[in-house]
Amino acid sequence: MIGTDLLQVLYSPRKAFKRIIENPKYLGAIIVVVLFIGLQIGFEYIQFSQTYTEQTQPQITYLSDYTNASSGYWISDSNVNITNNFNDYFNYTIYTAYGYYPNLFGNNSLQISGVNTNNVQAALTNMFSRNSNDGSIVTSSADCSEVGFQNLSITVKMMEPQTAPKNATLTLYSLSDTNYFQYDLTSSLSNLASGQWSNLTIPVGKSASGWTTAGSPSWTNITSLTLGANYPETSNITIRVGALFFRGQYQTPIQQDTNGVLLNFLQRFSLQILFSWFLITGLIYLLLKLMKTNINWKPLFIATGFALLVLVIRALVNIVATLTLPALYYTFDLLPGVGLTPWGTTFYSSQAAGTLFADSQAAVANIGALSSTFNLVTAGMFVLSYVWLGALASLILAALIPELSAPKRAAISAVSIIVTVLVLIFFVVGVA
Q: What is the pLDDT of residues 388-425, one digit of tens each?
A: 999 999 999 999 999 999 999 999 999 999 999 998 88
Report the relative pairing of strands 51-57 and 328-330 from DSSP bridges.
Answer: parallel
The mean per-residue pLDDT over the stretch 170-189 comes to 93
Range from 102-106, 123-127, 129-133 that averages highest in pLDDT: 123-127
Output the pLDDT for position 66.
46
The rounded percent of the chain whose pLDDT value lies above 90 is 52
297 or 132, which is more confident: 297
Q: Per DSSP, which regions of 334-431 are E strands?
A: 338-340, 346-348
| Least confident span in 13-27, 84-98, 114-128, 410-424 | 84-98
Output the pLDDT for position 124.
84
Helix/strand/coil (H, E, C) string of 100-143? HCCCCCCCCCEEEEEEEEEEEEEEECCCCCEECCCCCEECCCEC
In 3D space, the residue among 300, 275, 272, 274 whose CA is nearest the CA of residue 409 turns out to be 300
Output the pLDDT for position 94.
45
pLDDT digits (tens, 9 = 90+) for 49-58: 999 998 888 7
Instruction: Determine the Cα–Cα distance for residues 269 and 350; give it in Å rounded to an integer.
Output: 26
Output the pLDDT for position 125.
79
The mean per-residue pLDDT over the stretch 197-218 comes to 92
Instruction: Determine the Cα–Cα distance for residues 373 and 142; give it in Å rounded to an integer.
Output: 38
Q: Do residues 211 and 223 make contact, with C-beta atoms less than 8 angstroms apart?
A: no
Output the pLDDT for position 418.
95
Q: Do residues 86 and 109 make contact, with C-beta atoms less than 8 angstroms apart?
A: no
- Could you tell me which residues are beta bridge partners of residue 238? 113, 160
Instruction: Determine the Cα–Cα distance for residues 119 and 235; give it in Å rounded to an integer.
Output: 9
- In the chain, the domains with their CATH numbers are 2-50+253-431 (no CATH), 55-249 (2.60.120.430)
In 3D space, the residue among 255, 356, 334, 332 whose CA is nearest the CA of residue 56 turns out to be 332
Instruction: Determine the Cα–Cα distance for residues 33 and 277; give it in Å rounded to an integer.
Output: 9
The mean per-residue pLDDT over the stretch 246-251 comes to 91
The mean per-residue pLDDT over the stretch 127-151 comes to 75
pLDDT at 166 over 80: yes
Instruction: Determine the Cα–Cα distance for residues 309 and 392; give it in Å rounded to an integer.
Output: 10
Strand (E) or helix (H) holding 33: helix 26-49
Q: Do residues 180 and 204 make contact, with C-beta atoms less than 8 angstroms apart?
A: no
| Least confident span in 181-190, 194-203, 330-339 | 330-339
Q: Per DSSP, which regions of 256-336 are E strands?
A: 328-330
Instruction: Determine the Cα–Cα distance for residues 32 and 410; give it in Å rounded to an integer.
Output: 24
Band of residue 107 on the pLDDT scale cut at 50, 70, 90? low
Output the pLDDT for position 155.
82
Indicate the DSSP class of residue 332. G
Output the pLDDT for position 347.
84
CA 280 to mean position of chain CA atoms: 31
Q: What Å distances lie between residue 71 and 32, 61, 86, 88, 168, CA to CA?
A: 55, 18, 10, 7, 24
The mean per-residue pLDDT over the stretch 132-143 comes to 69
Instruction: Determine the Cα–Cα distance for residues 140 and 155; give it in Å rounded to an integer.
Output: 23
How confident is the prediction for the chain on average, in pLDDT?
A: 85
Q: Do residues 99 and 352 make contact, with C-beta atoms less than 8 angstroms apart?
A: no
CA 261 to mean position of chain CA atoms: 12
pLDDT at 99 over 50: no
In 3D space, the residue among 62, 51, 121 whose CA is nearest the CA of residue 245 turns out to be 62
Instruction: Determine the Cα–Cα distance for residues 395 and 205; give it in Å rounded to an integer.
Output: 64
Instruction: Determine the Cα–Cα distance for residues 147 and 250; give it in Å rounded to an integer.
Output: 9
In 3D space, the residue among 323, 341, 314 whose CA is nearest the CA of residue 40 turns out to be 314
pLDDT digits (tens, 9 = 90+) for 297-344: 999 999 999 999 999 999 999 999 999 999 999 888 787 778 888 888
Band of residue 95 on the pLDDT scale cut at 50, 70, 90? very low
Instruction: Determine the Cα–Cα distance for residues 421 and 159; give it in Å rounded to an integer.
Output: 56
In 3D space, the residue among 346, 186, 131, 172 whose CA is nearest the CA of residue 252 turns out to be 346
Band of residue 1 on the pLDDT scale cut at 50, 70, 90? low
Band of residue 156 on the pLDDT scale cut at 50, 70, 90? confident
CB atoms within 10 A of CB 258: 13
pLDDT at 184 over 70: yes
**The whole model's pTM is what?**
0.80
Output the pLDDT for position 170.
95
Which amino acid is present at 314? R
The mean per-residue pLDDT over the stretch 39-63 comes to 84
136 or 370, which is more confident: 370
What number of CA atoms fall less than 13 Å from residue 71's CA on the CB side?
Answer: 13
Indicate the DSSP class of residue 427. I
Q: Do residues 348 and 51 make contact, with C-beta atoms less than 8 angstroms apart?
A: no
